[in-house]
Structures are given as structure tokens and as C-alpha cells.
Amino acid sequence: MKPFLLVLIPLTEASLADVTAAFETRSSVPLDVLYAPDNAARSAAIESHGAHVRAVLTNGTTGLTADEIDRMPALEFVSALGAGYENIALDHARARGITLVNGAGTNDDCVADHAFALLLAAVRDVVQLDAACRAGIWRDALPLTPSVSGKRLGIVGLGNIGRKVARRAEGFGIEVGYHNRQPREGMPYRYFDSVPALAQWSDFLVVATPGGAATRHMIDAAVMQALGPQGYLVNVSRGSVVDTAALAAALEQGTLAGAALDVYEGEPQPPAALLHLKNVVLTPHVGGRSPEAIAASVRNFIANAVRHFAGEALLTPI
């Protein structure tokens, strides 16, 4: 029996075929692909074949638990398809000497595009205006919506995605500020040493920081109050970063003008507290998904895996 690559996330037929072909022809250690993209298949695959799994492909949301790692004694390589890896038991994997990689950089442009689309949709009220137009309601009966150009944009997390959001903002004549754990050298943007201070300065706040325990509810009621009743919040990072209950209260009470979210606490269920609100735009965690981005992520995974099994340097180690 050949060892296995266990795939825990949904892949398109084309992507799955590319992965399968790569491990048949390119890898120095041929692996059979074990496709388990839902919880039932995942449990069954680990129960039946865990002893023979040498590689796992997952993502930050789906993750990989310490218990699952323990049930795969031959496991030596774990990859997150995208940039996020917050639900992978990293310390446990490292203690086992397991190689860890992610898809950093493969979908940055896609996420940055989506972040700006969400910002425009929220500020210009595109969803509600579309519904009004379809209902035959003309502009004179509708409230004015703010301009986006010439405002101030705060970015929480000036990593690859945050920097690309900033460059898109420059095209709109928007002034950019940011908060990061440390100032980024060589950046032309204003640095703020706290998220509330950045929110106080900003008209719009885009959240692009990693998820995990360190950033849980970083965007809380105090940050939303600092952003203020004319402010707009966009989250394309992880749902855990924003306090959903505080956001619902701020939107209902008018202490925040609007929000747009691609990620949620409790995914894949959308947040019930927000569904009735007209001043929030919701998309189902698709910010990093496009044909181009998925193809790039799969290519990056294959290249990392081939390099690992050949004993070569990795492209995007965690």
C-alpha cells in the first residue's frame, strides 16, 4: 500500500486532478490521494487510513487537531492551502517534527480586491440601491450615500494583503494609516500604536490581521465607538477578530454607519444577529476565491510538497 496525502478541504475537479497527477509523477515519494472534504469523510479516513498518512492538505478554517495528528504516526508534512493556519495545532505538530507550510501570497490580490469591493458596497449602499432600483424606486426617494475618495482608511494588519489594500486606496486619493504589532520599515503610511487610536482617526477600517487567540475580538465595542457613527468597518481576516454581538449593537444603535464582512464567528453559518440589518454587507468567505487564486494556491502546495519530499528548501514555511 502506498502512503496517503489526506485532503481535508473541498477542491475543484481540476485542482484535485492536478494534485493527484503531481503525486503520481513529480513527487519523489508517490502518494495516493485520500479525499475527505467533510466531517464524516474526515473521521472515516483517519480511522481507516491514519497510520499511513504522510501529508495533509487543509486550510485555516478547517484546521487539524492535536488528536488527529496523534492518530497519524507517519505524518510529516502539513499544508494550509491559503495564508491562514489558525486552527492547525502548530505547537503539537512542531513537537513531532512535522513540516508546516501555507499558501502565503497566493491569493493576496484576490482578497485585497474583495476588501475594496466590500468597502465600496457598504459605503455607497450598493446592495440596498440595487434592491430599490429593481423595485422601481428612483434616486430622489433615497438617501444620499457618502463618497469614498478623499477619506481616511485605517488598516489593521499591514501584511501582504493589508499593503495591497493600501495601494488600491491610493488610487482613490485616500489617506492611509495602519496598526501592526511593530511599524513597517519603509512604509509611507501613518502608524498608530493601538487599534482604538487608528479607528478614531479613520473614516473606514479594514481588518486584515491574522486570526487566532492573540487577535480574538480585537475589534470590540470600544474600537467601533472610536470609529464612530460615520465610520465603516470591513473584515476580510477571520471572523474571530470582530466581536459580532458588539457589531450588531453598534449597527442597530447607529453608533457605526455600516459594515461589510466576508468572515464570521461560527462559520459556515452567517451571524443571525446581523441578518436583519440593512447597513451590513455579507459575503460567504469568498474573498480569497477566484479561479486564478485557487490555481496559484494549488500550485504552491504542490511545489512545497514536492520540495519537502525531495529534501529541498520550502517556498512558504510557517
Active site members: 238, 267, 285
Query: Long-range contact list for 45-54, CB < 8 A, 24+ apart?
Result: 45/6, 46/6, 46/71, 46/72, 47/71, 49/4, 49/6, 52/1, 52/3, 52/4, 53/3, 53/4, 53/5, 53/6, 54/3, 54/4, 54/5, 54/29
Cα–Cα dist 267/246, whole Å: 18
CA atoms within 13 Å, Cβ hemisphere of 179: 22
| DSSP bridge partners of 190 | 177
Our separate counts of H helices and E strands in the chain read 11, 12
> What spatial distance separates the first Cα and last Cα of the chain, rounded to whole Å?
30
Which DSSP state fits 245? H
| Cell 490555481 belongs to residue | 295
Candidates 172, 209, 179, 213; CA nearest to 193 is 179
Are 46 and 6 in contact, with CB atoms under 8 Å apart?
A: yes
23: left (phi over 0), alpha (psi -120 to 50) or beta: alpha
* CA count, 13 A, side-chain hemisphere, 236: 31
Measured between alpha carbons, how far is 151 from 299 in angstroms, rounded to an integer? 38
**Residue for cell digits 481540476?**
14
**Cell 477566484 appears where?**
290
Q: How far is CA 264 from CA 19, 235, 271, 291, in A?
A: 29, 9, 7, 23
